[in-house]
Chain A
């Protein structure tokens, strides 16, 4: 049998606009498509959170697009459900992994493309379809669903009778998430296959940039977690459309009507959802961790402190993340011994997390730090990760969580550690890789102003929420005025809302900087940050097959900065030993 069909040549770029920019097979275009998809989703998501903050402090404010201009309690729930779903799935899960990962993973490992380009294209378009279905759910009769990003059963399972948005809106939500699972599974297969088999000569596992490690472990988690969510979505859909009783208990009375269902278990949904859900939060943060390690090392002009420890802790976090889902269910009436086990396992994750934090600090320590915009966001990430992680330790105590669960405290926790931290990593990645992606530099001064507004802003928004949670402000309440003790908290909410308005406005700086710099930014050199990894060895714009047919050999680890005896303070991975200029 002939075995030569294996060497397909990729150097020919497809002709024609549609094949090139729309149904492209090129990982760089697909990565960019994912980034633009995320940018659209985050824009809508931020507008929704603007509505949330406006409504909480001025409940009677007229807002365009709502019946009579008034945000009803149901509307409020729709808004937060859409906000959470868009942000968690279509921004945090999508951009750091499928966006930047798609773009840079093949280049960083010296490959011409992802292993399965067609599947790559399919993953993107499936994800795109999922987004369209989700957005469409806001425009169907009954409107978008009100059941939150976690879609707890039985509310999410019984249909229209339970309230507005729980008819077609909820069905579309489930369909959208099921599609999203499909897209993510395909994407995970691509990332794993590519990293395992397409590394260039000399690029052993322990020479991979930490970004690649982050994407790799994340793909493992996605592969194992999204199948579970897909299964859960299918069962939920059957409960909704085919009268099965997976999640709907017997004799459930909803809106005064007793439903004809038998023996289902709402807790089953929680278990399936959080078995996916906890790994999911790490799916959002592990690529970010990789990016941050990469950026910190580049701008400290120092190797990553404890590279191997970074790899092992990443792996440990990935593994442990499958064992702790119960910490989201402490108040579900679980056996206290199970709660204890989940609590201890959750605290154990703190250990590899702390290792990473100390290694980031160790990387900074004694470095010649260049405070670029990317670096500022990377340092900001470390700060947010510590703050958000500490509140996690509190939540991991069942006794405390009985009180803190479903309060603003949890909102503060996960926004700092997941929402904002991952967004900081995306900002760092944008400022850092923009020159390679678009051939121009982003404006550094604007970037720094953007950083300070955002950094101070997010702390002003989310730190007070911990306090609000302590004193009992419930999560997901449309009004903070309807309960007596909450009225006294009004000034705090006012402060949060104003901080949010300022922080959101500051993001306009980023949009402007991003789109303006694509054309008008300072032209970028091939390697403006004096980086060591392979993406800086290729020309800009990056050729269709990344290396113009000339695949590099890797001779050393990814972070050889300030090596004693070398003339430059960085030694690129692909430079042959005899090419390395010596000092003096």
Chain B
């Protein structure tokens, strides 16, 4: 019955494809779910955070295009003075990404003391950034730029608040992975996905900062 054999072959395609890799060859060491086991492969968490970042990016892009359209159509746009501290905040956030890279490097080497140290540095820098953003808000208010004063100010608050909330989630994730009890995630996966998310928010901030700086 030759026509039946046409589809008989098992297609094994790469880790992004359908067929699961044979035992032991998965990205995460335990080979993912296979045969009779019903575990969830670790790579799905990486996939999940990647997808989530896509959704978050669309959310911010909607705000950014609203910014551009509103500025172009409104005719009432007034520039405002950017709080100086934002430069410092940006530096702090970039530094936190650096600390995170260091933490992961030590983690991969198996140096769990060093890992924890740099992980904590990242977390503290992240908190400092948020405090800095709040100070920036205080400075805006002190200068008379309120949420509803002008569309440019409205966008400043909306963009920084939205980013800050996402970053707050990042800090929660840092704390949880560093000091919480992971159930389904391995520590390796936990550090991997948190670091993707963190670097993403870092890059996003640089973009938003430039947008506000050049477009306000």
Contact = CB atoms under 8 A, between A and B. Distances in A.
Partners in one complex: yes
Contacts of A202: 10-11, 18-19
Contact of B19 (A203, A225, A230, A243): A203
Given A6-B39, A246-B154, A223 B10 contact: no
Interface stretch (A263-271, A312-320, A446-454): A263-271
B69 to A, nearest CB: 5
A197 B54 contact: no
Interface in B39-56: 39-44, 47-48, 51-52, 54-56
Interface stretch (A35-43, A159-167, A358-366, A545-553): A545-553
Main secondary structure of the interface of A (DSSP, over half): loop
Contacts of B85: none
Nearest to A219: B51
B13 A204 contact: yes
Nearest to A573: B7
Interface residues of B, number: 69
B63 interface: yes
A151 to B, nearest CB: 16
Nearest to B112: A1
A520 B162 CA distance: 53
A462 B148 CA distance: 46
B73 interface: yes
A5 B184 contact: yes
Nearest to B147: A242
B51 A223 contact: yes
B144 interface: no
A227 B28 CA distance: 31
A200 B20 contact: yes
B75 to A, nearest CB: 6
Interface stretch (B30-38, B87-95, B122-130): B30-38
Nearest to B76: A263
B22 to A, nearest CB: 9
Contacts of B44: 115, 193-194, 196-198
Contact of B58 (A116, A227, A234, A550): A227
Interface of A: 1-11, 111-112, 115-116, 185, 188-189, 192-194, 196-205, 207-208, 223-228, 230-232, 234-235, 238, 242-246, 250, 262-265, 267-268, 271-272, 275, 545, 547, 549-551, 553-557, 560, 563-566, 571, 577, 580, 582
Given A201-B20, A555-B7, 8 more contacts: A4-B186, A192-B51, A198-B41, A223-B55, A223-B58, A231-B62, A245-B154, A547-B38
25 contacts: A1-B188, A6-B30, A6-B42, A7-B37, A8-B184, A9-B37, A112-B38, A116-B48, A188-B51, A199-B20, A201-B35, A205-B17, A224-B58, A225-B58, A231-B63, A235-B63, A238-B158, A242-B148, A246-B66, A262-B76, A262-B151, A263-B76, A272-B62, A563-B3, A565-B4
Shortest 3 CB-CB contacts between residues of A and residues of B: A7-B39, A263-B76, A227-B59
